[in-house]
Copies of this chain bind each other. A is one copy, B any other.
Amino acid sequence: MPFENLGTPSLLLDKDVLEHNCKIMQERVQEAGIKLRPHMKTAKAIEAYHLATEGGFDGITVSTLTEADFFANGGVTDILYAVGIVPSKLSEAQRIQDKGVKLSLITDNLDVILALDDEALRLETTFPILIEIDSGGRRGGVLPDSKDLIAIGKALKNSKRLSLEGVLTHAGHSYHYTTPEEITEIAEQERLAVVEAAKRLRDAGYSCPIVSAGSTPTAVFAKSYEGLTEIRPGVYMFGDVDQMFIGACRSNEIAASVLASVIGHNKAANRILIDAGGLALSKDMSASEFSSHTGYGLVCDLTGKVLEELYVESVHQEHGLLASVSGDLPYATLPVGSRVRILPIHVCMTVAAYEQYEVHSSDGELLAKWDRVNRW
């Protein structure tokens, strides 16, 4: 039996699938003539970084300074921390920078620029800054046609401690569409937003070397990368059920899964119980906007073959309850004590519950354990 020496729940990672996913994205960016700066917020493992950057540019994107520190310790020297910086975090950023890293920071706020400038003076250091642009995601960022953009560019020009490194955006709203046409249109909005912002800054006399966009869906479905210097997808390395519905991967391109044991049959309620619940799978239900039969994960046998109709219908802290679309549950073939693999709905959330990947080949051979960096 594959994985028989692992406890449950455990986090599995299929290295063959990961390599395939990394290779496809590398080919895509190399054809487009731009850089891939992979977002490591999903994988958070140094071995995944090496696979994702193999044969290409070796800079990365991170979502926390703890991640930045982890990858700096792993030898990465060009890191973009793509969450709005605040002055209280600058001393930690300096500590990472002192490891020999070019650590780029982002903001969308003029007051922050002024406060960062003071703090950088106090710390006797300098930082490259990218201005965050809102391309429709309505999270962070100034609008590309806003007055604030030029005001921030001017403040950076005037600063002796901060330099304008470029502009970046993330079309997070691409996660809510399922046709290539819709996502291609969002990719184009994303590209035009950040290209327009760069043009406005340059027209105002400010240099803007980096023009950075990217999410996995828009990276997959973009028709043009013109004016961009790099893209920053991340979840493409692993894939998940949500990305499958979006069309950004197929079920056999999902690299991470959770190994779980069947721990009960509740025939009165018509549910099979597993020992992977809300903590082992996360409570993310993103794919429910696309299907009412995905819940907290899809179910595979130990070879990774999807067991059609089965899904994790509900979760408690350490319990998952499997239901079937037709109502017929395979009690006989999934006795208590047997094992299944669960394909995650939103893999970034699921893998965060684990400190290590149990790395295996597609034929079920365990190859290694890879460490993840979690928390803050």
- Asked if A263 is an interface residue, CB under 8 A from chain B, the answer is yes
Shortest A54–chain B CB gap in Å is: 25
- Asked if A32 is an interface residue, CB under 8 A from chain B, the answer is no
Assembled-state Cα–Cα distance A107/B115 (Å): 59
- Check if A139 sits within 8 Å of B316, measured CB to CB: yes
Interface set, chain A 252-280, CB cutoff 8 A to B:
261-266, 268-269, 271, 273, 275, 278-280
Q: Which of chain B's residues have a CB closer than 8 A to the CB of A88?
A: 7-8, 261, 337
Q: Which of chain B's residues have a CB closer than 8 A to the CB of A355?
A: 375
Q: Which of chain B's residues have a CB closer than 8 A to the CB of A92?
A: 7
Chain B minimum-CB-distance residue to A63: B318
- Asked if A141 is an interface residue, CB under 8 A from chain B, the answer is yes
- Asked if A155 is an interface residue, CB under 8 A from chain B, the answer is no
Shortest A37–chain B CB gap in Å is: 17
| A86-B337, A139-B273 as given contacts; A349 in contact with B319, CB under 8 Å | no
Q: How many copies does the complex hold?
A: 2
Count residues of A near B (Cβ-Cβ below 8 Å): 65
Assembled-state Cα–Cα distance A335/B112 (Å): 9
- Asked if A87 is an interface residue, CB under 8 A from chain B, the answer is yes
Chain B minimum-CB-distance residue to A115: B337
Q: Which of chain B's residues have a CB closer than 8 A to the CB of A214?
A: none
Interface set, chain A 327-367, CB cutoff 8 A to B:
335-337, 346, 348-349, 352-355
Q: Which of chain B's residues have a CB closer than 8 A to the CB of A83?
A: 263, 275, 318-319
Assembled-state Cα–Cα distance A335/B279 (Å): 34
- Asked if A140 is an interface residue, CB under 8 A from chain B, the answer is yes
Shortest A38–chain B CB gap in Å is: 15
Assembled-state Cα–Cα distance A7/B64 (Å): 12
Query: Which residue from B8, B108, B278, B283 sits with its C-beta under 8 Å from A264?
Result: B108
- Check if B172 sits within 8 Å of A139, measured CB to CB: no
- Check if B317 sits within 8 Å of A265, measured CB to CB: no
- Asked if A297 is an interface residue, CB under 8 A from chain B, the answer is no
Q: Which of chain B's residues have a CB closer than 8 A to the CB of A349?
A: 278-279, 283, 317
- What are 23 A-B interface contacts by the 8 Å CB criterion? A7-B92, A8-B88, A63-B318, A83-B275, A83-B319, A84-B264, A85-B263, A86-B337, A87-B337, A111-B335, A111-B336, A112-B336, A139-B269, A139-B271, A139-B316, A139-B319, A143-B268, A278-B284, A279-B352, A280-B376, A282-B283, A283-B346, A352-B353
* 3 closest cross-chain pairs (CB), A and B: A138-B269, A84-B263, A84-B264
